[in-house]
Every structure is written in C-alpha cells, then in structure tokens.
Chain A
Amino acid sequence: MNRPAFFLALGLAATAVLPATAQSLVADMSESSISITSNFTGKDILLFGAVDEPSDVVVVVQGPREELVVRRKAKVSGIWMNRRSVTFQGVPAYYAVASNRPLEGIASQTVRAQFRMGGAFLDFAVAASTRHLAGAELLEFREAILRNKRRDLLYFDVENSVQFRERLFRTSIVFPASAPEGDYTVTTYLLRDGRVVAEQSTPLQIRKAGIERMIFDLANQRPALYGIIAILIALASGWVAAAAFRRA
C-alpha cells in the first residue's frame, strides 16, 4: 500500500471509529501478537493512530520483566574474568520509545521520568542478595544494562520516528529475533504543552509457536523426556547415516 493511500484508509478508519465521542487519541497496531516460528528473524510492527488537534505523540513499549545479572570483568592473572555481579529485578526485557520530535522538547524531565519516556528513566531494583554496591559504582552497573541492551537491539530510543500527516500518525516498532517471548505493553501518550492529555495502552504478545513452542515446552516442562528423545534422535540419525553411506 502506498503512503497516501495508507493514510487515506487510516483516516477513514479513524473517522469511523470516533464519530461523536470527542476522543483525543486513537491508536492501533498492525498486529497484536507475534509468533516465533522457525523462520523468525524479528518483526516490525506498525503503530498508527489519529489525534484531534496538533500535538506530540510518544510511544513507549515495554517487554516482560526479567531478573538480570550484570557482571563486570576484571583482569585476574592475565585473563579477563567475571568478578563483581549485581542482580537487578524488574528489568524490561525489551524497551522502546518513539516520538515525533526530540523528547527534551516534548516534556519536562519530571514528566518524562513519570511516564518512563527514555531508557534513562527506567527503574531497576537491586536484588536483596547483591546489595553491596552503592553510588557511582552501582550506577555503572545500571548503565551497563542500557548499553548492553542497546547493543543487542533490545532497547531503542528513536526520536523523530513518529511521522505525522495532518492528524494521523504512524511509527514502526522493531522487534529483533532475540526479543524474548512474553507480554509486552505498547502505550501511546498524547502530549500538549508538555502535559500528557491522553494515553492508550495496548497489549502485545510474543510467543513461540508451532514446532519451536513444542520443543521449548518439552525441554522446560519435561526435561527428562526431552533428554531421552534427544538421545533417541541422535542414535537413530547416527544409525541411518551409517546405513546410507555404507555402500556409497
């Protein structure tokens, strides 16, 4: 679908959705679930919507929370090995923020912090077992999360990625192949004069499906059976291989 046609369709859809009720924001996504199948290489999801008058739009996507261990290497007799580690809880496995212009111009730091608009405002709790660091050193570990996640393409801050056309906006959210399965939340904020005037949250699911699902579930729920099946597959394929090449 070319762009004008897309926006036309979107406009029609939007007017159909909000006839009389003066809703200031309406948004939807091209898909509400992602299946990880054997050919999964990541996915782009299109988020689109309409606003009632010129405003700023910020989209925040957060993945399932995970407990994360951050380790720091140090040189021990010539080799680099993991020494210190800190465990953080409630770290979103995936985080993305998209906006129509730089976030600094859209809202004050207080507002951005309140709505987690920007990776810097994510709040990670340190697990009780590893509360031995404080201050600057702990900050280094926190920053390492953002840096590593960005490198793995699991954290994004993309300014100017929300495109407006009149009252319609769209942006695409990129999920890499390494995006873990779980429940994601996509929240679209509408801001005017630096204040959030409307927001809409939509759940998004990422799930392994098909054979990937089957293998993963078996491995985690029935590990003994999985191990035996893995051995039987290996025995059988070894046997077949030997037979196939016996006369060759």
Chain B
Amino acid sequence: MQIYFPIAEISLNIFLVLGMGGGVGFLSGLFGVGGGFLMTPLLIFIGVPPAVAVATEANQIVAASVSGVIAHWRRSNVDIKMGLILVIGGFAGSTVGSFLFKLLREMGQIDLVISLSFVLFLGVVGSLMVVESVRLIMRSRKGGYRKKAHQHYWAHGLPFKMRFQRSKLYISIIPPILVGFFVGLLAAIMGVGGGFIMIPAMIYLLGMPTSVVVGTSLFQIIFVTANVTFFHSINTQTVDVVLAVLLLAGAVIGAQFGARVSGMLRGEQLRALLGVIVLAVCAKLIVDLIFEPEDLFSIGRAIAE
C-alpha cells in the first residue's frame, strides 16, 4: 500500500516506512540509543530528499525522547539544572545549525555536508564501539578488570561555576554550554539527537555520574530537537509530519521488542554488533561519495530566497 507524503512529495510503501521505524526502534531499544543516526541515512537511501530526512527525523526524535525520558524522570535520574544549561547551548547551536542548513541548501551542498558529517561521526563512533567492545570481550575472557583512578577534570578551573546537586558537581557552566552548542549544531544538520556525543561528553568531559547521563541527555534532546523542528519548519519547510508519525509508530513498537531482547544478550557483544551496523551504514555512504555517479548532472527546483 503506497502513501503519498505531502512535504517529501514522494509516494512510499507504508509498510516499508513502518518497517524501518520498527527496525530502527528495535535497535534503539536493544542498544539503548536514539536511532536518529541510523534513521536519517536510511531515509536518504530510500529516496527521501536529504533535507526532508533530517528535519523529519528531528521531529520524530522529539517523540522518541519524550517516551524515553519518562521512565528516567520517575526514577529521578534527570539533572534538570544541568539539562537546562545544556539546552541553552543547544538552542543556540541548533538555531545557528538551522540557518547554516538553509544556506548550504541554497548553495546546493547540503546533501554532501549531511553525508560527510555522517561518514565522519558514524566512522568514529562505530570504530570506537567495535574496538572498545572487542577489548572488553578479550579482557573478560582473561578475567580481571582495571578501573580508572580519580580524575580531575579540566573544567574545574573555569569561571561561572554553578552547583549541580543531582550530579554532585560544582563546575563552570562554560563546558556544558559548549557541549550543548556543538550537539545542537549536529542535531540541526544531521537530524540526530546527538546522544552518542552527549553521553560520552557528560561522563568524560563534565564528570557527571553515569546514573543521570541518559535521562539528562534525553531531557535536553527533547528541547533541542523541538527547536530544530521549529526552525527547519520556518527556514526550509522540510518537516514532513506524516512521515514522522509513521516512523514513530513503528519505532515505538520496535523499541519495546528491542528492550526485551536486550536482556538476553551480553553488553559487549551488543555493543560490537551495533558498532558493525554503524560501520556498515558508514561504508554505504562512503561508497556513494567516492564512486563516480551514474550521471554527473543532477537537477533540482531552484529555491526561492
């Protein structure tokens, strides 16, 4: 059954869209990740215009993060104060990102920038995941576990310090604002929540306790992706709500199954598997960039300024 998407202006099989939502939702439930970094490239692969894929996926992540944050909220695993500081940076970053996006689109380079950003981040994150989990698997076979000693974070020396009770931190607000800004920029250009950057940054850069990072990350993602949705709607009219709702419907169901299956598998193996999936998507993007296209010429409706 085909369905016509009013903003993407293409007709796609409804089961393909639901299935993709379900598949990526399953992976996100399985691995506890957002899934935006897989969904946006997949949407592009099936023929959704890249700009529409990014903006629509940002809209879908708003919904996914709301359902994700609720459980963390109940267990009070959300550092609201830190979340709001990150949101300040995130708003700035995603607003700038959205205007940059509009500019790149008018220059005809947005598709390239989206692909390159994905290649870079998927490549780095995927490789780290595979290396890290292989090391963990080897180590657990040998037995024994090394733990890092106390760390002093460079963030401790900066001005504008603030106390974050929930995270048991007293640090400058400059690093969180910068992290928020950077992740906001990625959200606007790549249509991702940015959890894969945010969570490591929270742990290693800000020194937040692991118990609150996921909840706080989801909390700020809601605001940042909502901001991305808003500005892409205004600047480029590329948010397709019909597509977002269908993806979401599939993703919600998929995530439930994924969460159940994840209990049956071991952490390191899961992470290695996710790393391989991420690298596969990355490889496909690289192939499309470096192989000579069938037709060097492409056409597109001129965008009125």
- Asked if residues B11 and A145 are in contact (CB atoms below 8 Å), the reply is no
Interface residues of A in 34-89 (CB under 8 A from B): 36-42, 66-75, 78-82, 85, 87
How many B residues are at the interface, by size bracket? Answer: 35 or more
Q: Tell whether A219 pairs with B7 under 8 Å between CB atoms, given A69-B301, A80-B292.
A: yes
B264 interface hit (Cβ, 8 Å): no
Give Cα distance in the complex from A223 to B102, angstroms: 15
26 example contacts (A-B, Cβ-Cβ < 8 A) are as follows A68-B300, A68-B302, A69-B300, A71-B108, A71-B298, A71-B299, A73-B297, A78-B290, A127-B302, A148-B298, A177-B4, A178-B10, A215-B7, A219-B7, A219-B239, A224-B234, A226-B233, A227-B232, A227-B239, A231-B226, A231-B230, A233-B63, A237-B63, A238-B66, A242-B68, A245-B252
Give Cα distance in the complex from A81 to B71, angstroms: 44
**Which A residues lie within 8 Å of B244 (CB)?**
230, 233-234
- Return the contact of B112 from the options A81, A87, A229 (Cβ within 8 A): A81
A contact residues, total (Cβ < 8 Å): 63
Give Cα distance in the complex from A220 to B238, angstroms: 10
- Asked if residues A231 and B4 are in contact (CB atoms below 8 Å), the reply is no
- Return the contact of B71 from the options A230, A233, A238, A242 (Cβ within 8 A): A242
A239's closest neighbor in chain B, by CB?
Answer: B66
The SS class assigned to the B binding surface is: helix
**Which A residues lie within 8 Å of B301 (CB)?**
66-69
A95 interface hit (Cβ, 8 Å): no
B residues adjacent to A (C-beta < 8 A): 1-4, 6-7, 9-11, 59-60, 62-68, 70-71, 108-109, 112, 116, 222, 226, 229-234, 237, 239, 241-242, 244-245, 248-249, 252, 256, 289-293, 295-302
Give Cα distance in the complex from A247 to B123, angstroms: 38
A248 interface hit (Cβ, 8 Å): yes
Task: Sort A-B residue pairs by CB-CB distance and give the 8 closest, nearest first.
Answer: A238-B66, A227-B233, A144-B297, A238-B63, A234-B62, A67-B302, A177-B11, A242-B67
